[in-house]
Structure 1
Amino acid sequence: MNKLTIIAAFLFLSLYTNAQPPNVAADKGATFGEIINPDNAVSVEQAIADVQKKEGEKTAVKIKGTVTSVCEDMGCWLTIKSPKGDMTIKMKDHAFFVPLVLKGKEIILDGIAEEKITSVSQLRHYAADAGKSKEEINAITEAKKEITISAKGILVL
């Protein structure tokens, strides 16, 4: 039984220490997740309007936007510039991750969007993943209604 505990601990530690963003280039044409094309991509503003018309329903979207931040721990989420603040993009089912060098790049993302309430604990988790200071994290005291997207694929422009 003791050997089993040691093996389990070793496996957990190995997985935990290897959980980091991929160290790959994000040059024009690079894709992450499913292969997508830029056809029929809309602006962030148009996507927001489309999602808000659906009033809480999940909506398929293909958006052209600029990456403002990437999860520094694993590359499991990113944000894109939006007129109402940054919009959070998660990688569908954690099926793929993106590199930190994606920050500042223009991308096309294909996924499912929905408007929902993000809890204080989740917002603080995102802030910690983004490398924010303890003071910035503790300043988050209210849940936030926002549009989030579960991305199936990302294409770098």
Structure 2
Amino acid sequence: MKFLISFAVVLVLILAYFRFFPSAPINPVLPVPQGQEEVNGHNAEVPKGATEDEEAGEEGHSGASIAPVAPGQTYGAAVTPDGALPMTALPTALGTRDSAQVKLVGKASAVCQAKGCWMTLPTADGKEMRVRFKDYAFFVPKDLSGHDVVVSGWAHRTTTTVADQQHYLRDAGKSEKEIAAITQPKEEVSFLADGVLVQN
């Protein structure tokens, strides 16, 4: 009986303490000062970015017109070519992991012709790696195809739905016949870039 009374008294004291002296949250979300870019992804295990649902609904995202491509131009976070790996090194950099933070250099092969909200880089096995931009915070010029670029961010394995594949083909200006031919989800490696540098 004494134990139950002691326990009740301690419990009341603890509750009273937290009532009158609330503590700060363990992991507060602090606002990012205006004009300062949010830092995310570096030293993190899971990349932050748009979900597949947001990708499918990106038509509603309004963006300013992008000037024609210019060598040396950076889009998004500042990127240098230092330490960039060629696209042929991507399988080794990713290994067996689902995602890896990496900086890659390659030749842009296709760009979203709606607004420049994605591009592709050819991989060593002849496929295309789709590059999206973190939080859709920036786009690239529609005439970027054929230029060498450095991308910094996260490579990750993903499954692209039929609807998303068809959406990307429409963005690229493909025919309805090519779009209708897509009937299966596709396993592929995609990239979420926080910055893009045009090399030439």
The structure with the greater share of residues assigned to helix is 1
Among 70, 73, 78, the residue aligned to 1:35: 78
Aligned to 2:124: 83
Alignment partner of 1:53: what SS? coil
Among 110, 113, 117, the residue aligned to 1:72: 113
Alignment partner of 1:116: what SS? strand
Alpha carbons 2:68, 2:142 under 8 Å: kept: no
Aligned to 1:92: 134
User: What is the root-mean-square deviation in Å for CA atoms of aligned residues?
Assistant: 1.8
Aligned to 1:8: none
The structure with the greater share of residues assigned to strand is 1
Q: Give the greater-gyration-radius structure (CA).
A: 2
* 1:6-48 deviation line (CA, Å, top 9, x unaligned): xxxxxxxxxx799467331322111101111110000112123
Aligned to 2:51: none
The residue type equivalent to 1:142 in the other structure is: Q
The residue type equivalent to 1:76 in the other structure is: C
Alignment partner of 2:75: what SS? strand
The residue type equivalent to 2:124 in the other structure is: P
Alpha-carbon shift at residue 52 of structure 1 (Å): 3.3
* 1:100-151 deviation line (CA, Å, top 9, x unaligned): 1111100000011111111111111101111000000000111111000000
* Runs of at least 4 residues off by over 4 Å: 16-21
| Unpaired stretches in structure 2, ≥5 consecutive residues | 1-58
Q: Give me the identity figure in percent.
A: 34
| Unpaired stretches in structure 1, ≥5 consecutive residues | 1-15
Give the aligned length. Answer: 140
* Inter-CA distance 21–143: structure 2 relative to 1 (3 Å threshold): farther
Alpha-carbon shift at residue 53 of structure 1 (Å): 2.8
The residue type equivalent to 1:33 in the other structure is: G
* Inter-CA distance 99–122: structure 2 relative to 1 (3 Å threshold): same
CA distance in 2, matches of 1:104, 1:18: 26
